[in-house]
Amino acid sequence: MKHVAAMSIRAIILSSFLFLAAPLFARDKTDLMVMKNGDRMTCEIKGLDGGVLYVSFDYIDGTASVDWSKVAHLESKQLFIVKTQDGSMYTGALDTAETAAGRPAKIQVVETPENEVVIDRPQVVQMVQTSENFWQRFNGEISWGFIYSKGNQSTQFNLGSETAYVRERWNAKANFSSTLASSTGTNASTRNALGLSALRLLPWNNWFYSGLGTFLQSSSRESICKPPSAVASDAI
């Protein structure tokens, strides 16, 4: 019954993460990406981090990584939170401003029809999807795995998930991991961990404060076979 209860708890938490992360999965791939060699591709821009632009295509499974320095033009009606090297944050749709030949490309962040911010592309260090819709501001991922060893008839199930709620000046994250392991001669062991964190930018760019909390539930393996009784002998 304990194992069933543990699995039920994991199922509830997993379903919650799936529900929160699902809205972003269904976004139409209508963004435009033009490379410096002239290639034009319709895609979904996922985000930018560490000089790598992450995009997905209708005809390719998963997410593709693109060298940010080789991108010449971007267009997207989706809202993004854009962060620059000096810590400034902007929210808006993306476009590439017209630049003279030989000049560095500029990213145009359209916050409102009356307010547009033009940023040199090398200054852009991070882009994260966001939305006016509350549920579509969530980002998430889920992973799972299974290991089986024939030698000692051991099995191990692993489940992991992460959900993030991102805003321009703050964000909150929750991550959950669960492991269920069993093998011959031992009781099944479980380990469930839930981590919660939040970050808030201060008025001074690149300065922030954050909080972190972790909850852990685990059971250790106990041998089913009792150890042999100890035999004491006195020296004569």
Query: Is residue 14 over pLDDT 50?
Result: no
Predicted local distance difference test score (pLDDT) of residue 65: 93
Predicted local distance difference test score (pLDDT) of residue 114: 67
Q: Are residues 45 and 58 in the same domain?
A: yes
Q: Is the pTM of this model over 0.75?
A: no
Integer Cα distance of 190 and 63 in angstroms: 32
Q: Is 190 exposed, middle or buried (0-12, 13-18, 19+ CB in 10 A)?
A: buried
Residue carrying structure tokens 């991922």: 141
Structural domain including 61 reads 28-132
Please tell me which residue, 233 or 59, carries the higher pLDDT value. Answer: 59
Q: Are residues 126 and 188 in the same domain?
A: no
Integer Cα distance of 27 and 63 in angstroms: 14
Q: Is 80 exposed, middle or buried (0-12, 13-18, 19+ CB in 10 A)?
A: buried
Q: Are residues 84 and 179 in the same domain?
A: no
Residue 66 counted as domain residue:
yes
**Domain tally, the chain:** 2
Integer Cα distance of 150 and 23 in angstroms: 40
pLDDT tens digit sequence for 25-47: 456 788 999 888 989 999 999 88
